[in-house]
Amino acid sequence: MTRLSPLLAQATPVTVDHGEGCYLYGTDGRRYLDFTAGIGVTSTGHCHPHVVEAARRQVGSLIHGQYTTVMHQPLLELTERLGAVLPENLDSLFFANSGSEAVEASLRLARQSTGRPNVIVFHGGFHGRTVATATMTTSGTRFSAGFSPLMGGVHVAPFPNAYRYGWSEEEATAFALKELDYIFATLTAPNETAAFVVEPVLGEGGYVPGNTTFFHGLRERADRYGILLVIDEIQTGFGRTGKFFGHQHFDVQPDIITIAKGLASGFPLSGIAASAELMAKGWPGSQGGTYGGNAVSCAAAVATLEVIEKEGLVTNAAERGAQLLEGARRTAGAGVGDIRGLGLLVGSEFTAPDGTPDRATATAAQQLAARKGLLLLTCGAHMNVVRMVPPLIVSEQQVEDALAIWSEVLDEM
Ligand code: PMP
């Protein structure tokens, strides 16, 4: 008998039969409130009728066009639609399939356009699982364990992770920027540095939001030294944080953003956006791939953008996010050391009485929640943060339902 690889470890015991809105229906006949959204992907909910209809129509007319062979209409339409929501200076797009590929595309463009070899990433960041992006990932040793040598040219600077350092946000930010300057003096000179690659909110690293002072510090150094600011919006884009893109909370202009996840409601699609001038400095032929910008994914993405706009999902993410964060703070008891987030990214960090990360309790809480019908994920370097990342269509009542289950879980733990 053929079996699934044990490498495909599952976070919950649930096998899904189908999904609708914020619910997944298991083959066990139970209904689950899904606060994982396929790791922040199904922002319009499972099988939103408008997205389903757009994909169905596209499947019937063209499934695969291969955009370096022939251009296709859904990709052109998506490019146009994205123009209305992207920061004004980012007027040129490249499409791929996964988040990791998008980050690699940004890395290639940054190195090619600057002629510089090194990049600086920020501690606790997650940028993917390919060898290059795993090298750039510092949110857990598991992501790069056992397949060294990794890619060269990556240096790691601190992210203002106040709780982890045990400092105020101001202290953590001042330290992060000071350390960045020390890295320039000791590890990679500015004129050897192509890019900063950074998330607006550490995602897999534990739902730690950045802040305005930090991002202004990065922008100021990027301008001073001709370094590109690459903002990885893969988890934070398309309304997830309560603004269209996560960096918009911090009044900062990126040179490149990476996009994926919430872009196409679960169809594989990713990309990078940059100015046409910067994009033109990439080397022809060096970016591409068989499946990038798939026609059905692009049609689903157009429909997704329509749903985000028509249903006011960015505003809903801000309002429901505030409700969720406030509720999680209200229900937290002993053992939860910190609760933080931005929009519909809310994390509860479990800490043992001696101050060490408490993975066992976080895992047990997640498992108990699943048995009670609420699906959650963990994250953080120590997997001790329980994260709530529901679809952006989540209602006030569904947030209350999730909080009621979470409160029961914490009481019983
Ligand atoms: N960057 C960020 C910020 C992410 O959250 C992720 C996925 N969790 C990735 C990159 C990688 O995306 P993918 O798994 O689609 O390769």
What ipTM did this prediction achieve?
0.99
What tokens appear for 236 in the block?
């934070």
- Whole-Å CA distances, 77 to 72, 209, 306: 9, 33, 12
Pocket test for ligand 1, best of 41, 104, 126, 345 (most atoms within 8 A of CB): 126
User: 198 and 163, same structural domain?
Assistant: yes
Of 284, 310, 336, the residue at which a domain comes to its end is 310
H helix runs in 233-358, sequence order: 276-279, 295-310, 313-331
Residue 146 reports pLDDT greater than 90? yes
Question: What is the extent of the structural domain holding 405?
Answer: 16-48+312-412
Angle of helix 313-331 relative to helix 396-412, nearest 10 degrees, comes to 20
User: 33 and 72, same structural domain?
Assistant: no
DSSP string for 128-139: -SSHHHHHT--S
Task: Scan for tokens 């370096």, then name that residue.
Answer: 68
- The answer as to whether 6 is a domain residue is no
The predicted pLDDT at position 9 comes to 80
Q: How many domains does the chain have?
A: 2
- The answer as to whether 1 is a domain residue is no
Pocket test for ligand 1, best of 42, 235, 256 (most atoms within 8 A of CB): 235
Atom of ligand 1 lying closest to residue 39 CA: 8
Residue 413 reports pLDDT greater than 90? no
Interstrand relation of 256-259 and 270-274 (parallel, antiparallel or unpaired): antiparallel
User: 167 and 148, same structural domain?
Assistant: yes
Atom of ligand 1 lying closest to residue 232 CA: 3
User: 58 and 42, same structural domain?
Assistant: no
> Using CA atoms, how far apart are residues 215 and 305, in angstroms rounded to an integer?
27
Atom of ligand 1 lying closest to residue 130 CA: 16
Q: Residue with the nearest Cα to atom 10 of ligand 1?
A: 127
Name beta bridge partners: 225: none
> Whose CA is closest to 208, among 163, 141, 243, 172?
163
Distance 260 CA to ligand 1 centre (A): 8
Residue 334 reports pLDDT greater than 90? no
Q: What is the pLDDT of residues 363-407, one digit of tens each?
A: 999 999 999 999 999 999 999 999 999 999 999 999 999 999 999
Q: What is the pLDDT of residues 233-254, one digit of tens each?
A: 999 999 999 999 999 999 999 9
User: 337 and 191, same structural domain?
Assistant: no
The predicted pLDDT at position 132 comes to 98
Of 310, 331, 365, the residue at which a domain comes to its end is 310
Atom of ligand 1 lying closest to residue 129 CA: 16
- The answer as to whether 2 is a domain residue is no
Distance 106 CA to ligand 1 centre (A): 13
Mean pLDDT for the chain overall: 97
> Whose CA is closest to 42, among 17, 66, 23?
23
State phi, psi for 113 to the nearest 5 degrees: -75, -30
Q: What is the pLDDT of residues 150-166, one digit of tens each?
A: 999 999 999 999 999 99
- The answer as to whether 93 is a domain residue is yes
Residue 7 reports pLDDT greater than 90? no
User: 293 and 229, same structural domain?
Assistant: yes
Name beta bridge partners: 21: 46
Distance 127 CA to ligand 1 centre (A): 5
By CB atoms closer than 10 A (0-12, 13-18, 19+), residue 364 is: middle
> Using CA atoms, how far apart are residues 37 and 48, in angstroms rounded to an integer?
13
> Any idea what the CATH number is for the domain that residue 31 is in?
3.90.1150.10
The predicted pLDDT at position 349 comes to 98
Q: Residue with the nearest Cα to atom 1 of ligand 1?
A: 127
Distance 61 CA to ligand 1 centre (A): 30
User: 179 and 54, same structural domain?
Assistant: yes
Distance 372 CA to ligand 1 centre (A): 28
User: 403 and 366, same structural domain?
Assistant: yes
User: 163 and 93, same structural domain?
Assistant: yes
Atom of ligand 1 lying closest to residue 199 CA: 3
Ligand 1-lining residues (CB < 6 angstroms): 39, 98-100, 103, 126-129, 199, 203-204, 232, 234-235, 260
Residue 306 reports pLDDT greater than 90? yes
Of 310, 331, 358, the residue at which a domain comes to its end is 310
Give yes or no for a contact between 391 and 22, defined as CB atoms under 8 angstroms apart. yes
Report which DSSP code applies to 351. B
> Any idea what the CATH number is for the domain that residue 97 is in?
3.40.640.10
How big, in percent rounded to 5, are the helix, strand and coil portions of the chain?
40, 20, 40
The predicted pLDDT at position 289 comes to 92
Give percent of the chain above pLDDT 70. 100
What tokens appear for 118 in the block?
């090194």
- The answer as to whether 3 is a domain residue is no
Atom of ligand 1 lying closest to residue 258 CA: 1
Residue 142 reports pLDDT greater than 90? yes
Give percent of the chain above pLDDT 90. 95
- The answer as to whether 9 is a domain residue is no
> Whose CA is closest to 344, among 317, 326, 319, 316?
317
Distance 408 CA to ligand 1 centre (A): 31
- The answer as to whether 399 is a domain residue is yes
- Overall average pLDDT of the 140-146 stretch: 95
pLDDT band for position 332 (cuts 50, 70, 90) = confident
User: 266 and 300, same structural domain?
Assistant: yes
- Whole-Å CA distances, 253 to 14, 106, 219, 250: 41, 16, 8, 9
Distance 232 CA to ligand 1 centre (A): 9
User: 189 and 76, same structural domain?
Assistant: yes
What tokens appear for 139 in the block?
């949110």
What tokens appear for 252 in the block?
């900062």
User: 327 and 248, same structural domain?
Assistant: no
> Using CA atoms, how far apart are residues 147 and 88, in angstroms rounded to an integer?
40
- The answer as to whether 377 is a domain residue is yes
- Three-state secondary structure readout of 7-54: CCCCCCCCCEEEEEECEEEECCCCEEEECCHHHHCCCCCECCHHHHHH
- Overall average pLDDT of the 192-213 stretch: 98
